[in-house]
Structures are given as structure tokens and as C-alpha cells.
Structure 1
Amino acid sequence: MPKSMVFSFAFMTYGFAPNFFFDNLPTTSKAHAERSFKLAREKGLKYVNIGNRFLLSHYY
């Protein structure tokens, strides 16, 4: 692919915290968020971020 056609985008993973309709679901685990971050970086994505880190749990 020519360099003029190369583009990049941001990949965001957010912590999920059910509060109302989905109160029977767990919050996003820290392990899952960190694994998705690592895999995205390994696959070559440059702009990777984990948002809402304060919502991440250690449940699973």
C-alpha cells in the first residue's frame, strides 16, 4: 500500500459498569481490558487506550 494511503485510527476499550437495566452483569475485568490493549498493540495499532479504568474490576 502506498504511504499516501496509510491511515490510522484510535482504538478505545472502556470499562463497563451496569447500573440500571443490566445490573445482573459484572463490570469489565482489568484482565480483559489489559489483554485487549496488549493484543491491539501486537497487531500494530498505535493509538490504543483503556478508558474508565476506575470501573475495572478483579471479579474474573
Structure 2
Amino acid sequence: EQGVPIVAITDSSFSPLAQFAKVWFEVAEADFGGFRSISATMALAMALTVAVGEKRRETGRRRKG
């Protein structure tokens, strides 16, 4: 409602999150005897945060220099 863009990580394009997200990532996790590992989702989340941090650092360097 406030116009804040949403980035969603989901396991299905039919997820309610996907319809509201500006960008969404679909991650298929491995299933081991009825239990899902979340390692792929965690790897994606960490990669996204590192990428955002690097982008902000580059932007900060350009402003200072």
C-alpha cells in the first residue's frame, strides 16, 4: 500500500507472495523423507544480501571520489 517494492523468495509461482512482489525468485529445495532442506534458499538469501552490500559500497565510493 505504501509503494515499497517487495522481493520474494518462494517455492511456487502460485505463492501469494509472488503476486505482490516486484521481483520474485522461485527456489526448488531438495526433499529428504518428507523434510525440506532450506540450504538453497539460504544460499540465495546470502547472495542477495552480499550483492546489495557490494552495490551500496560501489555507490558510496563514487559519491566520495
For normalisation by structure 1, the TM-score amounts to 0.32
Compare relative contact order (CA 8 Å, sep 6+) and give the higher one, 1 or 2.
1
**Larger helix share, 1 or 2:** 2
- Computing the radius of gyration from Cα coordinates, the structure with the larger value is 2
For normalisation by structure 2, the TM-score amounts to 0.30
